[in-house]
Structure 1
Amino acid sequence: MSDAPKPYRATRGRRLIVAGGGTGGHLFPGIAVAQLFLTRHPRNRVLFINAGRPLEVNVLARLGWPHATIPVEGLKGRGLWRQLNALAKIPGALRQSRALIQDFEPDGVLGVGGYSAGPVVLAAWMLGVPTALHEQNRLPGLTNRLLRRVVDRIYLTFADDTHRFDPRKALVTGNPVRDEILALGAKPKPSADPATFHLLILGGSQGARAINEAMVAALPRLADCPRLQVVHQTGLEDEPTVARAYARAGIAATVQAFFNDMAEQYHRAHLIVCRAGATTVAEITAVGRAALFIPFPHAADDHQTGNARALVEAGAAEMVAQRDLNGDLLAERILDFINQRQRLAEMAARALTLGRPEAALNIVNDLYQLMERSRADAPETP
Structure 2
Amino acid sequence: MTISRHYVLAAGGTGGHLIPAFALGQELLNRGHHVALITDARGAKIPGCPEQIATHILPAGRLTKSPRSWLPGIRAIAEGRTMARRLYASFEPTAVVGFGGYPAFPALLGAFAEKIPTIIHEQNAVLGRVNRFTARQVNAIATAYPDVLRLSPRYASKVHLVGNPVREEVLALRDEPYPPLLADGIFRVLVTGGSQGATILSDIVPDGLARLPLNLRRRLQVTQQCREEDIETVRQAYAAHDIPAELATYLPDLPERLGWAHMVIGRAGASTVSELTCAGRPAILVPLPSATDNHQSYNVKEMVAAGGARAIAQPAFTAVELAKQIQKIALEPGALENAAKAAKSCGRPNAVSDLADLVESFGRAPIMHGLTTKPETSASFGAAPALARKSIS
* Whole-angstrom CA distance in 1 between matches of 2:186 and 2:344: 23
Contact 1:231 1:253 in 2 (8 A): yes
8 A Cα contact 1:276 1:308, kept in partner: yes
Measure the CA separation in 2 of the matches of 1:338 and 1:18: 42
**TM-score normalised by L of structure 2:** 0.83
Q: Which amino acid aligns with 1:128?
A: K
Instruction: Pick one of 60, 63, 66 that aligns with 2:54.
Output: 66
Q: Which residue type is aligned with residue 210 of structure 1? A: I
Match of 2:74 in 1: 87
How many residue pairs get matched?
A: 364
* 1:214-293 → structure 2 map (5 Å cutoff): 214-218=204-208, 220-221=210-211, 225-293=217-285
Unmatched runs of 5 consecutive residues or more in structure 1 = 1-10
- What is the DSSP-based 3-state SS (H/G/I as helix, E as strand, rest coil) of the residue aligned with 2:112? helix
Which deviates further from its counterpart, 94-103 or 267-276?
A: 94-103
CA distance in 1: counterparts of 2:90 and 2:347, whole angstroms: 38
Q: Is the 8 A contact 2:181 2:262 kept in 1?
A: no
| 1:23–1:206 contact (8 Å) kept in structure 2 | no
User: Structure 1 CA distance, aligned partners of 2:44 and 2:229?
Assistant: 18
1:82, distance to aligned residue in structure 2 (A): 4.5
Q: 1:23 to 1:58 in 2, by over 3 A?
A: closer
Q: Deviations over 1:107-129 (max 9, x none)?
A: 21110011110011111221222
Change (3 A) 1:335 1:315: closer
Aligned-partner Cα distance in 2 for 1:146–1:31: 23
Cα-to-partner distance string for 1:285-325 (whole Å, 9 max, x where unaligned):
10001111212233344332232222222121212121111
Q: Deviations over 1:117-161 (max 9, x none)?
A: 001111122122221100112221110011112211111122356
For 1:341 and 1:205, how far apart are their aligned partners in 2?
35
Q: Does 1:105 align with 2:92?
A: yes
Give the CA deviation at 1:240.
4.1
Q: CA deviation at 1:219?
A: 5.4
Match of 2:324 among 326, 332, 350: 332
- Choose which of 41, 44, 63 in structure 2 pairs with 1:75: 63
Q: Tell me the residue number matched to 2:45.
A: 57
Aligned-pair identity in percent equals 34
The whole-number CA distance in structure 2 between the counterparts of 1:258 and 1:26 is 18
5+ residue gaps, structure 2: 371-393
Decide whether the 8 Å contact of 2:141 with 2:158 is kept in 1: yes
* Alpha-carbon distance between aligned partners in 1 of 2:39 and 2:306, rounded to the nearest angstrom: 36
Q: Which residue of 2 aligns with 1:5?
A: none
1:207–1:257: 8 Å Cα contact kept in structure 2? no
In the other structure, the counterpart of 1:16 is 7
CA distance in 2, matches of 1:290, 1:56: 32
Q: Return 332-341 or 263-272, whichever deviates more.
A: 332-341
Q: Check whether the contact 2:37–2:53 (CA below 8 A) recurs between aligned residues.
A: yes
CA shift in 2, pair 1:326/1:369, >3 Å: same
C-alpha distance 159-222 of structure 1, shift in aligned 2 (>3 A) = closer
> What do you get for the CA RMSD once the two structures are aligned?
2.8
From 292, 303, 307, the counterpart of 2:299: 307
TM-superposed CA distance for 1:191, in Å, is: 7.8
Distance 1:349 1:236, change over 3 A: same
Task: Please tell me the residue identity of whatever aligns with 1:27.
Answer: L
Give the aligned residue type for 2:114.
Answer: L
Please tell me whether the aligned partners of residues 156 and 170 of structure 1 are also in contact (alpha carbons under 8 angstroms): yes
Q: Which has the higher contact order (CA 8 A, sep 6+)?
A: 2
User: 1:364 Cα shift?
Assistant: 0.7
In 2, are the aligned partners of 1:113 and 1:133 still within 8 Å (CA)?
yes
1:33 aligns with 2:24: yes
Cα deviation for residue 204 of structure 1 reads 2.7
Structure 2 counterpart of 1:177, from 166, 180, 183:
166
1:326-368 Cα offsets, whole Å, 9 max, x none, are 1222233335544346210110011112211111111111111
Answer yes or no: is the 8 Å Cα contact 1:51–1:73 preserved in 2. Answer: no
Paired letter, 1:39 = N
* CA-CA distance at 1:69 after TM superposition: 0.9
TM-score under structure 1 length normalisation: 0.85
1:222, distance to aligned residue in structure 2 (A)? 5.8
Shift of 1:284: 0.7
User: 1:121 aligns to what?
Assistant: 108
Distance 1:14 1:73, change over 3 A: same
1:199 aligned onto 2:192: no
**Displacement after TM superposition at 1:190 (Å):** 6.1
Residue deviations 1:177-199, cap 9 Å, x none? 22111111011356899611111
- SS, match of residue 300 in structure 2: helix
Q: State the 1:369 CA deviation.
A: 1.3
Q: State yes or no: 1:209 paired with 2:196.
A: no
- The answer as to whether partners of 2:284 and 2:311 remain within 8 angstroms in 1 is yes
> Does 2:145 align with 1:158?
yes
How far did 1:28 drift?
1.1
Structure 2 residue 127 is matched with structure 1 residue 136: no
1:4 matched residue in structure 2: none
